[in-house]
Amino acid sequence: MCGRYILIQKAEVIEKRFGVKVPDTVHLVPSYNIAPGKLAPVITNDRPYEIQLFRFGLTPSWMTKPGLFVNARAEGDHNSDNNPNYTGAKGIITKPAFRKPIRSQRCLIPADAFIEGPEKEKLSKPFLVYLRDKVRPFAFAGIWDSWKNPETEELIHSFAIITTVANEVMQKIQHHRSPVILHESDERKWLSNSIPLADLTRLLHPYPGDLMNAYPIAPTIKNPLADDPGLIHPVGERLMSETIIRNSHEARITGMGSNKHFGFDDSNPLGK
């Protein structure tokens, strides 16, 4: 699953990257620990040029009590053993909680990175996972829905991140799933109301592992109330070495170094 992620970009960066506007009524707060139940920015298919704040954790409209579907499996009930080579049916189109949203209520979920741990240890052994070459923010493929609290009649808009089979990076972390990260060229397709369902489900595949990397962080991230730059400081080496070109000089990164993380100085986390 993907139950924690990061978004610390300024509003103008998000606006430029996704071709949207942040309304004056929407106050974006940078977060190093977006956890289920928190409000987070989304771009929906019914308002594709505007940022909205929805709750992380989808409650289908037909439920009588609030629920939190943090993730939606692309395979639905298929691929029960989470075979990373699975290429079969996308059962998400038939799951009761997701079959309507996947057809008519899709969204982009902007992020800078996400947090994942091994299947057994989970966030007791967390890794920060990011896209190489400073590709951020990026967008998860998501679905959304609106639920009215029968007691208070409050209307709650919520979303879930779609997951798929594990790519090479997630397998190295020993986690069985990957969040679906869309290529920038596919983002508007995902929001389109005229693309056939079969074409949409073809986008639900893992992001190339060779374009990603990860490093371990402290389990403090488990606390959903924790939210500060220290959460993403490395406590070990990157999973894979990287070559970064700076000022025409090539520097080989084989570990984290004494004062570097995520390819930036500690004084400038995530390139903010």
Lowest-pLDDT range, 63-72, 190-199, 261-270?
A: 261-270
**DSSP H helices in 118-174:** 168-173
What letter represents residue 4's amino acid? R
Give the residue from 71, 23, 70, 59 showing the smallest Cα distance to 156.
59
pLDDT confidence of residue 67: 85
Average pLDDT, stretch 89-96? 97
Measuring CA to CA, which residue among 218, 159, 205 is closest to residue 178?
205
pLDDT at 94: 97
Q: How far is C-alpha 35 from the geometric centre of its chain's CA atoms?
A: 11
3-state SS of 16-59? Answer: HHHCCECCCCCCCCCEEEECCCCEEEEEECCEEEEEEEEEECEC
Residue 182 structure tokens: 């869309």
Q: Tell me how far apart the alpha carbons of residues 53 and 157 are, in angstroms, rounded to a whole number.
A: 8
Report the DSSP beta bridge partners of residue 109: 140
| Per-residue pLDDT at 266 exceeds 70 | no
Binned at pLDDT 50, 70 and 90, residue 244 comes out as: low
Tokens of 268: 């400038």
Give Cα separations from 209 to 86, 170, 172 (angstroms): 16, 8, 10
φ/ψ bin of 131: left (φ > 0), alpha (ψ from -120 to 50), beta (otherwise):
beta
What is the widest separation between alpha-carbon atoms in the chain?
63
Q: What is the Cα–Cα distance from 171 to 200, expressed in whole angstroms?
A: 25
Lowest mean pLDDT across 14-23, 62-71, 233-242, 245-254: 245-254
Residues forming the active site: 2, 116
d(CA 180, CA 108): 11
- The pLDDT score that the predictor gives to residue 261 is 44
pLDDT tens column, 210-223 = 999 999 999 999 99
- Four-residue CA torsion sign, 137, 164, 207, 146: negative
- Give residue 32's Cα distance to chain centre: 13
Question: What mean pLDDT comes out for the span 170-182?
Answer: 97
Cβ within 8 Å of residue 70, ≥6 positions away: 1, 2, 3, 36, 56, 57, 58, 160, 161
pLDDT > 90 fraction of the chain, expressed in percent and rounded: 86
The enclosing H or E element of 267 equals none
pLDDT of residue 157 exceeding 80: yes
Residue 188 has pLDDT above 50, yes or no: yes
pLDDT-based confidence at 268, cuts 50/70/90? very low
Identify the architecture of domain 4-271 in CATH.
Alpha-Beta Complex (3.90)
Q: Grade residue 13 by pLDDT with cuts at 50, 70 and 90.
A: very high
Return the domain boundaries, the chain: 4-271
Q: What is the mean pLDDT of the chain?
A: 90
pLDDT over 80 at 249, yes or no = no
Q: Which amino acid is at 32?
A: Y
Residue 119 banded pLDDT, cuts 50, 70, 90 = very high
**Under 8 Å CB-to-CB from 246, ≥6 apart: which residues?**
none
Tokens representing 54 are 């929805």
Report DSSP letters for 91-158, one per residue. GGGT-TTTHHHHHH-EEEEEESEEEE--TTTGGGS-EEEEESTT--SEEEEEEEEEEE-TTT--EEEE
Single out the residue of 30, 10, 26, 22 nearest to residue 49, CA to CA: 22
pLDDT of residue 118 exceeding 70: yes
